[in-house]
Amino acid sequence: MAPETRIPRLLLTGAAGGLGQVLRSSLKPHATILRASDIAPMAPAAAGEEVVPCNLADKAAVDALVAGCDAIVHLGGVSVERPFEEVLEGNIRGVFHIYEGARRHGVKRVVFASSNHVVGFHRQGEVLDNGCARRPDGYYGISKSFGEDMAQFYFDRHGIESVSIRIGSSFPEPRDRRMLVTWLSYRDLTHLVVQSLTTPGVGHTVVYGMSANRDIWWDNRHAAHLGFSPLDTSEAFRPKVEAQPLPDPADPATLFQGGGFVKAGPFETL
């Protein structure tokens, strides 16, 4: 993106998390001001940054956070499988507060960090497009499915355009055989987020976030208008990963796309 097309003020929630820290750095060239937010401690603001702590469960605080912003990259919330009560506050109340803030303050583009766990109970090897049935693999996946519905609703009702990115496994390198398929490099993550922010006329688009890996579970043909062309592949890591012991073929984490998330819990809260 050329400097003259920078987003004047871009809000990044979840900026203290693993991917939030990556995007806080890599999105800075694409915004005049990057407003970084999280409930957890963050690094101090550098030039061209604002650091605004915020609890996503606090509607008034989120409304103030969104004020003055031109676009939002929403990564904030619980990022792993947890008891429903924890997921409820950050991921369900939080995404509602983000979209309400966007409506109230005239923000017309949101990039929502959804997850492959929206479809985690589909079988490994099954190739899914973005119109497939959602089969969440836990409370976290349910919250991301809810977020996708919020994105669709706020587009249909209020004209707020969103791209919901069903992020695969975004780490420095894939850790196991499943991640050889689901891996998304940091470079490809940044490229996908930038395309999601800047492509005109996205309506509400759902796209899978994965690099150009050899084996494919996800088909992005219906999101081709985003112009996302991944540059990296997990192949360089295959010998290291395949040196690991073979997993149990009867293990649900081996059978289903969500991996270990399909086995997390139940969580006793009483």
pLDDT for 141? 98
Active-site option among 140, 154, 186, 208: 140
140 as an active site residue: the answer is yes
Provide the whole-model pTM. 0.96
**In this structure, what CATH number is given to the domain that contains residue 151?**
3.40.50.720
For 223-244, the pLDDT digits (tens) are 999 999 999 999 999 999 999 9
Q: What's the domain count of the chain?
A: 1
Please, are residues 225 and 205 in contact by the beta-carbon 8 Å criterion? yes
Residue 33 lies in a domain: yes
Tokens of 183: 């891996």
Residue 268 lies in a domain: no
270 occurs within a structural domain = no
Residue 159 falls in which region: left (phi positive, over 0), alpha (psi -120 to 50) or beta? left
Please write the tens of the pLDDT for every residue from 122-140.
999 999 999 999 999 999 9
* Domain with 248 in it: 3-263
Query: Is residue 175 one of the residues assigned to a domain?
Result: yes
pLDDT tens, position by position, 153-192:
999 999 999 999 999 999 999 999 999 999 999 999 999 9
- pLDDT of 2 higher than 50: no
29: phi then psi, degrees, rounded to nearest 5 = -65, -15
Within a domain: 163: yes
Q: Is the peptide bond before 44 cis (omega within 30 degrees of 0)?
A: no
Within-domain flag for 152: yes
Is the pLDDT reported for residue 1 higher than 60?
A: no
Asked if residue 215 is part of any domain, the answer here is yes
Beta strands in 14-169 (DSSP E): 31-37, 49-51, 71-74, 109-115, 161-167
| Residue 269 belongs to a domain | no
pLDDT at 43 over 90: yes
